[in-house]
Structure formats: structure tokens, C-alpha cells
Structure 1
């Protein structure tokens, strides 16, 4: 049988340490998100930012949490798909926990949000300290197509942010902060400093056939798929909370629905080609 990859080592699940961290994180997610959704007045920011935060909380609870639990369960059986799902869900939660901490004014959930960020970050560190499945790409995986797609995301996303940042360097405050109540944009910071460079490295590793690139490409696509859905929802709820605001727009929501649909194509190709390893060497 032709598969995407051959395992270079026996595929096993995450360590007990990682499983414990992920399970505690799974409890922290509803603790941080349910109050945002159901408790009036817990958020103290501008209406558009409160609406966007509710959108983030909703997707974290309804999409990322089930993906996290499913990824842990399936990866514990040695599934390569489960590893990608777990890594992608952890990355999404870490990314958006950062926004809950830095893009919402201080509130009663501050320590819960800090705990959420800490658990997501250290669960990622713990997972990368575990023996990850090492994989070779096979003929069913469109390596060039997927790596090109990931690099296109990086370039287009970076260009979009720089087009907004560069013209306003030195302005106090810059126009892109108008209506947000923020002193800087944490999305710009973590995208340009961490996540976009990380995705670029993954794309290059995949293009070169590096064993880590195959697994991390799947995780990166999971992350971007959930993130596209999350942005679509937070744009919609942000505009609903503050009609007429240009911080969150219905147009932005439609755009990211389209991005999610486009991302589903390479993710599906990766997913269909991925083996369901069960602690054994897979044939080429």
C-alpha cells in the first residue's frame, strides 16, 4: 500500500507529562472562555474588541477544545494524524491565549488567562521534548504544493501587516489602533516575531524532505484552519457588537471563511495521505 510516509521509528503517543499538561489545559479552556461568553461585564474593552474576544472564546471552546481532546486521544494510540491535530490545537490555543492576556483590559479572568497561556505554552514545550514521529514524504503527499501554500500564507500575511505598519511608523498613536483601546497590536507582534517565521521554517523543511517537516506541515495546516475559522467568527461578532467599526468587519469575516475553505484543500490532501501508525513501522 502506498502511504504518505514511512515511520523512521516506532510511533508512540505523547509522554505522561505531556498528557497531564494537556488534560489540565482542557479544563482551563472552558474556565477561561465560558465566562467571556455568558457573563455580562466581564470584559472591559471597547465594544468591538469585546465582540471579537467573544468570537475567539467561542471558537476556542467549540472547535479548538474538541480538536485538542481528540488529538490527545488519537495520538496516544500512535496516530500521526493525532499528533498533527494535537500540535495544531495547542498552537491555536497558545496563540489566542496570548491575545486574551494582552489584547483585553485587565479583568477578573486575568489569572485564568495567564494560566491558560502558561499551560498551552508548556504543553507545546513538553510535546516537542517527546520523541516526535519522524517521517519521510511519499508519492501521495504533494510536497511542493503544500509547502508553496504555507509559504504563500507567510508572505501574504507578512505583507498585509507590514503594509499597515510601515506607513505609520513614528505616528502616535498609529491609525490601526484607533477604536481598539490598545497601545500596540499583539497580533502584529506574535505573527511577525514567532508564528510566520515558524511556518516558513516548516515549509522549507517540508520542501527539503526533512522528517520533521512532514509532521509539522500537517500541524501547521490544522493551526491555520482553526485560526481562519476563528478570525471569521471574531470579525463577525466584533462587527455585530460595534456596527460601523472598521476594526472588525463582515467583509473580513467573509474573507476568512474563504481562507478556511481554501486551507481545507491542502489539509485534506495531507490528512488523506497520512498513515494511521499504530506503534509499528509502515511500508513505503
Structure 2
């Protein structure tokens, strides 16, 4: 009995294997992020008076982003983490995209709003999202995604990503181009008081290069091309929905703000949802050895023994 108890204690107190420990890091960081992001977005949406030093349209935009985080990004992140813990590679791609969205918009909440009571909560959300993203990327099996993505329409995905790059780059350049030529402030800044727009910085420095690199990588069927493209498809889909809600709430707080971008963002959200579904659905689901054995056994033809011939009755 003592030997059995000693073995049980040793099994429970044994150190976690390095591989399993490394896989637990992104889960713990992402779980903390989900909690912080949910609380921060709920407070930001409800107690928006803390943004009193920001322009009314900016307050509306912040509320739209907070609502998207609360009802879309955080639930999607939690669901993806649960499914990924059960071994779903598709869920890991969704997890990656949700983290990318939260990291992107955490930068905006930190740098696009004036200092307020939620500042440290915004910083904590930004820190957790960045570190969660890096931890998950370190543990991502890129070659597995490539091997299971043989049926993904890589050219269609690449063209869509390049089209998004061109579209958003054109919109930003139409805004900042004339101001750069005249050495003035872009008209979109209005009364926001921004020195520069964090959206412009993020997109030109990171988002656009990643979209181009992902499109090129998935076109060539490289492992990291699949990973980057899958994550960005999810991120862009949530982001276009977020922009639509930003515009709606921005117009609510400042009727002078146009709603002209809402239909375009709604269409892009639908297209992005279709592209994301297409990408994820074409990732092959691996079969276990037991499943393969059962399928082979079920497909094997069954040979029945021939029925015995009836005996002739013996007459005595």
C-alpha cells in the first residue's frame, strides 16, 4: 500500500514536461487577456464619460470598438481556446486571429484616446495581447497547417488579402496624401487633437506588410504563409465589423460623422466571413489510427459462407 501511495504522490508532484509547459503559456496568458479585455471593454462601453476630453465622434468610435471586443472578440477567443485545447487546429487559427484583433485595437485604445481612469487597464490589455500572440506563434506548427491545407484555395485567399491591402491603403492615402503634400493636418483628424493617427501607423508599418507577406507565402504554399493568412482573415473579418460599429456609434455621438463607410464595411465583413469559413473548412481533419482502422474495417467487403445445400430426405 505504501508503495502505491508513494508512486501516486510522485506522479502528481512530477514536473510538467517542457513541451506541455510551453503549450500552457499561451493558454494562461490568453485566459488572463480574455478577463481583462471583457472587463475593460464593458467599463469603456458603459462608463464612456471617462473619454470626456476626446471628440464626440472619437468617443463613439471607442464605444463601437469596446462593444465588438465584448460581444465578438472575447467570446470567440474563449471558444477557440477551449476547442484548441481539445486538439482542433482550426480553433488555433481562430485563436490567433482573435489575439491579433485584440492586440491591434489595444494599441488604438492606448494611443488614440486621452489619458483617463482606465489607462492602466488599457495598458494591461495591450501587454497581455502582445505576449499572448507571441507565445501562441512560438508554439504554432506551421508545417502542420501547410500539410493539412492542401485543399485551401490559396490563390483566392492571396488575391483577397492583396485587394484588402490596396483598398485600405487607398483610403488612408486619400486622407493623408494631400495633407503631406501641403504639410498640413489631415482633415480626418478634425477636433480629435491627435498628433498622428495610430491606425495609419499600424497599417502602414505592420498590417499591410503582413498582408502582402501572407499573400505571397500562401500563394507559394509555405507553412508560415498559411498561418499568417489564416490569422489575418479572422482578424480582418472582426475588424471590418468593428469599423462598421465604430461609425454607427460615432454618428450617434456626433451626427456630423458620416455613415458612408458602414455599407462597405458590412459587405467586407460578409466577404471576410465567407473567406474565413472557406479557409477553415478546407483544413483537413487528421484521423487517429483507431479511426483509420474502423474505416478500413467498414469498407472491407464482407464474405459470407455459402448457404448449405439442403439434404435429400432419406426414405427407409
1:134-145 map, 5 Å: 134=143, 135-136=146-147, 140-145=151-156
Alignment TM-score, normalising by the size of structure 1: 0.88
| Structure 2: gaps of 5 or more residues | 1-19, 293-316
Partner-residue secondary structure (3-state), 2:87: coil
- For 2:76 and 2:288, locate their aligned partners in 1 and report how far apart those are by CA, in whole Å: 22
C-alpha contact (below 8 Å) 1:147/1:206 kept by paired residues: yes
In structure 1, the residue matched to 2:297 is: none
Secondary structure of the residue aligned to 2:49 is coil
Residues 148 and 283 of structure 2 are in contact (CA less than 8 Å); yes or no, is this contact kept in structure 1? no
The aligned counterpart of 2:301 is none
The whole-number CA distance in structure 2 between the counterparts of 1:279 and 1:32 is 42
Q: Aligned partners of 1:254, 1:14: CA distance in 2, in Å?
A: 43
Deviation at 1:138, TM superposition (A): 5.1
Instruction: Find the structure with the greater CA-based Rg.
Output: 2
Q: Which residue of 1 aligns with 2:178?
A: 167
Structure richer in helix, relative to its length: 2
Once residues 224 and 86 of structure 2 are traced to their aligned partners in structure 1, the CA distance between those partners, rounded to angstroms, is 20
List aligned pairs for 1:194-233, cutoff 5 A.
Answer: 194-233=206-245
Equivalent residues, number: 268
Cα RMSD for the two superposed structures: 2.1
**Alpha-carbon distance in 1 for matches of 2:88, 2:28:** 19
Which residues of 2 match residues 91-240 of structure 1 at below 5 A?
Answer: 91-134=100-143, 135-136=146-147, 140-169=151-180, 170-240=182-252
Contact 2:59-2:250 at 8 Å conserved across structures? yes
Contact 2:150/2:283 (<8 A) preserved: no
Structure 2 Cα separation of the partners of residues 166 and 107 of structure 1: 32
Provide Cα deviations, 1:213-253, integer angstroms capped at 9, x if missing partner.
223322111111100110010111101110012xxx22211
TM-score (norm. length: structure 2) = 0.80
Q: Within 1, Cα distance between the matches of 2:250 and 2:159?
A: 32
Residues 52 and 238 in structure 1, CA contact (< 8 A), matched pair in contact too: yes
CA contact (8 A) 2:48 2:59 kept: no
Alignment partners' CA distance in 2, 1:128 and 1:264: 23
| 1:27-42 to 2 correspondences below 5 Å | 27-42=35-50
Matched residue, 2:7: none
